[in-house]
Structure 1
Amino acid sequence: MSAEELLGTAGVARRTVDAAESERASRLWWDADADDYLAEHGRDIGEADFVWCPEGLREADARLLGDPTGLRVLEVGSGSAPCARWLAAQGAHPVALDLSSAMLRHAAALGTATGLAVPLVQAGAEHLPFADASFDAACSAFGAVPFVAEPERVMREVVRVLRPGGRWVFAVNHPMRWMFSDDPGPDGLTVQQSYFDRTPYVEIDGDGRATYVEHHRTLGDRVRDLVAAGLVLDDLVEPEWPEDRETVWGQWSPLRGRLFPGTAIFVTHKPHP
C-alpha cells in the first residue's frame, strides 16, 4: 500500500502550514513512505555512499565538506543514513538525525548489514538535541530543510551545535524548480506558478489535515537565512546534468536537467569569533 493510501491523501491544498503541522506531516509521510522510497531509490543512493543530488554528484568527488577524517559530523535529515555510513568509512565520527522512525529502522538494519553502524537520533531539525559546539561539521543531502516551516531556525540550530570554523553544507531543490510541475517530461518545461509565491505545497486527507508538506524559499531567502544565522556562504553549487546520465529520478530527468538546474548546494561555515 502506498503512503498516499496509508495516510488517506485526498487532494492538494495551497495554504499556510505552521511548524507543528509541518513536522507532524513529515513524520507521518516518511514513516509511511520509507519502504517504497528505498525500494525505488535505494540503488541510487547506495548503502554507504554520499550522493548529494539526483544529478549524481558524490562527495567522494566534490569534497564539499573537506577532509572528514577524525571529524564529528552531524547529518541532518539522514533518512536511511547512507551518507553518514560513507563518512564513517572515511574515518569520520558521524551522527545521523532524522524525524522518521521508519527511516531510522532502515538505517539501523543497513548499519548492521554493512558493518558501518553509526549513532542514530530521532528528532526534528528545528530543535537539535545536542550541546553547543559539539560538531566539527554538518551536512544534509535533501534532508529536512525543504520540509520545515521555519528553515531559519534550522540554520540557527546548526550554527549553535557547530564549532567555530565548522562547515555546514546542504542540498535542496533548486528554488527555480518551484515554477514548474514535477513532471520529468515535456509538460514539466512550462512555468506553472510564480517563483515568488511562497505558499507551501500541501497534500491533505479527507479532513483537511496535511499528509505531506514542502516549503519554498527563493535563493535570496536562503542566503538571508544563512547570513542572519551568522554563517558565511563560501559557494553555491548548481550541479549540471552529466551528458551521459539517463536516470529519471522523480522530477529530475535528462530533458529538464540539460535546460535548467534541479539542485542547489549551499557551502557555508561558521566563522571564528
Structure 2
Amino acid sequence: MLSASSRANRFWWDGNADEYQVEHGDFLRDSGFIWCPEGVDEAEAHLLGDVAGKDVLEIGCGAAQCARWLSGQGARVAAFDISHRQLRHSQRLDLDTGLRVPVVQADAESLPFAPASFDLACSAFGALPFVAEPLRVLLEVRRVLRPGGLFVFSVSHPIRWAFPDDPGERGLTSDRSYFDRTPYEERDDEGTPTYVEHHRTMGDWVSLVVASGLTVRGLLEPEWPRGHDRVWGGWSPLRGHHLPGTAIFTCSA
C-alpha cells in the first residue's frame, strides 16, 4: 500500500508531467543525463564510471531521459517511476528517438526487482525527496545491488530548506530553521495531501546511507557554472553563486 506521501506525489506528477516535460524537456534532452539544475552532465562528470555492459537501474526516472542515455552508452538499463503519465512520456521519447527503455510503474519503497540484479543504480532527483521513509528506499537499493555495486543520487541541497524557494533576492534570506524537518505539503480543499516534499539535513542523509548498509564514497556540491542563466524553480544564477542547490552522493554496496 502506498504511503500518504507516495500517493500524493503519484497524483501530483500524473497531473503535472505534461507541463514539466514541456518546460524542462529541452534542458534534459530526449537522451541525456543531467544530474541537477546546475547542469552537471554525466557525459562529462563520469560519476557512474564506465557503464558499458553494466546492469543499471534508474530510480524515479520520469521520462527516462537518463536511462535512455545510459542505454546509448552500452548499459543494460531498467527504469521505473511512480507516475504513469511520466512513463507515457518515456514511451513517446522511445518512438521519437528509436531508443526503447524498459520501464515499469513502481514505488521506490518496494522495488519489483530480484536481489543482486544490478551493478549500478542512479537517481537524479527521483523518489528520495518525496518519500516519508527514505531508509526503506536505500535498503531496497542495497538489496537489488550486487556486492560492490554503486548508487549515485542527487537531491536538493539541505541548506536550501532554510531559504524561501524563490530565485530572486528574497531567496537569499533565511526564513526558517535548517533543522526544522516539517515536510512541505500542499493540500486540496478536503485537506488531503496533493504534494509532499521532505527535508533531511546533510547529517540525516549520511546517517540514512550508513544505516542502510551502503558506504558514502563521495559528495559533490556543484557550483553554479559561468554562463548558465537558466532559472529552474528556486534555482537561479543569483542564488547559485551564493548557495549550493544540489547534493550528489556516491555510495557503494
Question: Normalising by the residue count of structure 2, what TM-score does the alignment of the two structures yield?
Answer: 0.99
Q: Partner of 2:3: helix, strand, or coil? A: helix
**Aligned mates of 1:20, 1:248 — CA distance in 2:** 32
- 2:52 pairs, out of 62, 65, 69, with 69
In the alignment, does 2:221 pair up with 1:238? Answer: yes
**Aligned mates of 1:212, 1:26 — CA distance in 2:** 5
Partner in structure 2 of residue 57 of structure 1 = 40
RMSD over aligned CA atoms reads 1.0
- 1:80 pairs, out of 63, 69, 92, with 63
Partner in structure 1 of residue 175 of structure 2 = 192
Aligned residues between the structures: 253
Partner in structure 2 of residue 154 of structure 1 = 137
**Aligned mates of 2:250, 2:170 — CA distance in 1:** 32
Query: Where in structure 1 are there 5+ consecutive unaligned residues?
Result: 1-18
Please show how residues 9-28 of structure 1 align to structure 2 within 5 Å.
20-28=3-11
Q: How far 1:136 moved relative to its partner? A: 0.7
Q: Partner of 2:247: helix, strand, or coil? A: strand
Q: How far 1:69 moved relative to its partner? A: 0.2
Please show how residues 72-151 of structure 1 align to structure 2 within 5 Å.
72-151=55-134
- 1:173 pairs, out of 134, 144, 156, with 156
In the alignment, does 2:146 pair up with 1:163? Answer: yes
**Aligned mates of 2:96, 2:227 — CA distance in 1:** 32
**Aligned mates of 1:267, 1:116 — CA distance in 2:** 27
- Runs of 4+ off more than 6 Å: none
**Aligned mates of 1:244, 1:106 — CA distance in 2:** 30
Q: Partner of 2:121: helix, strand, or coil? A: strand
Question: Normalising by the residue count of structure 1, what TM-score does the alignment of the two structures yield?
Answer: 0.91
Cα deviation code 1:94-123 (max 9, x no counterpart): 111100000000001101210111110100
Q: Give the partner amino acid of 1:204.
A: R
- 1:35 pairs, out of 3, 7, 18, with 18
**Aligned mates of 1:214, 1:96 — CA distance in 2:** 22
Partner in structure 2 of residue 15 of structure 1 = none
Q: How far 1:260 moved relative to its partner? A: 1.1
Query: Where in structure 2 are there 5+ consecutive unaligned residues?
Result: none
**Aligned mates of 1:132, 1:98 — CA distance in 2:** 19
